[in-house]
Amino acid sequence: MQEESIIYGMRPVLEAMQSGKTIDKILLQKGLSGPLFKNLFIQVRERKIPFQYVPAERLNKYTRGNHQGVVAMMSAIEYDDIYEIVPWLFEQGKVPFLLILDKITDVRNIGAIARSAECAGVDAIILPLKGAAQLNEDAVKSSAGALHKVPVCRHSNLVEVIDYLQSSGIEVVGVTEKAEKTYYEKDFTQPLCLIMGNEYEGIAWDYLRKCNASVRIPMVGTIRSLNVSVATGILLFEVEKQRMNVTIG
């Protein structure tokens, strides 16, 4: 990890949080205590920053400096709030096109998806607070800068987000191999949020059961699976194609 993408030490990390810097994740050494750590931990919980307890040996891999048992992974982007974006989209007369990525952990996949999303006109990408890839400089580079152009939202409870989207008139569609309907049988011209899961576990059941509909990509080969960024690209441009045809028609 590049030195400039981390901050270490209790007070520097505390000051970074208080100044409003965007932190992806904080690593904490097991067994920390004391008033300063207590204050720092309260700030971490209040700001809902993902954290993980790790042994000192792991922290030493990130820096040779005096980390005091605390290393913060800084985000290369600023996050937005989907609860603010959705009303704005409707106010602008847009037909919302949103994308939820469920636990995509490879930064290159995130970057590639963001690049396709920007090209296909996605209005916002929504990520879980925990379990997603860190959006560092590698992710931005893989996205060809798209992560600075497409709003990215990070929320702790995606079930609540899905409920909010549906109550706002946005159809939530899961892309899963378990679906009966293929993606080209589905109408994507209305307000829409697609959900893509990771390649190994797919979409979490808590999210899939909330979907208004689900679709699959038909396979005829023997491998019968696609890289998640490729699968996402197929769906994104099907949506774009359908909406362009409506506009032209």
The predicted pLDDT at position 3 comes to 46
2 pLDDT above the threshold of 70? no
101 pLDDT above the threshold of 90? yes
d(CA 199, CA 107): 14
Task: Provide the whole-model pTM.
Answer: 0.86
- The number of beta carbons lying within 10 Å of the beta carbon of residue 108 is 15
Sequence length of the chain is 249
d(CA 183, CA 44): 41
The one-letter code for the residue type at 137 is E
pLDDT tens-digit readout, 19-59: 888 888 899 999 999 999 999 999 999 988 889 999 999 99
pLDDT tens-digit readout, 146-186: 999 999 999 999 999 999 999 999 999 999 999 999 999 99
User: Which DSSP string do the residues of 181-199 spell out, in sequence order?
Assistant: SBGGGS---SSEEEEEEBT
Instruction: Encode 36-60: b = buried (16+ Cβ within 10 Å), e = exposed.
Output: ebeebbebbeeeebbbeebeeeebe
Please state the rounded mean pLDDT for residues 105-114: 94
Please state the rounded mean pLDDT for residues 77-87: 95
What is the token pair recorded at 171? Answer: 């159809």
What is the token pair recorded at 122? Answer: 């996605």
Scanning the structure block, which residue is given the tokens 């937005």? Answer: 80
1 pLDDT above the threshold of 50? no
The predicted pLDDT at position 248 comes to 64
- The number of beta carbons lying within 10 Å of the beta carbon of residue 191 is 19
Percentage above 70 pLDDT, the chain: 97
Domain architecture of the chain: domains with CATH: 3-74 (3.30.1330.30), 82-248 (3.40.1280.10)
The predicted pLDDT at position 224 comes to 77
Q: In angstroms, how far is CA 164 from the centroid of its own chain?
A: 17
Q: Average pLDDT over the chain, rounded to whole?
A: 92
Let me know: does 225 contact 108? Beta carbons within 8 Å: no
The predicted pLDDT at position 64 comes to 85
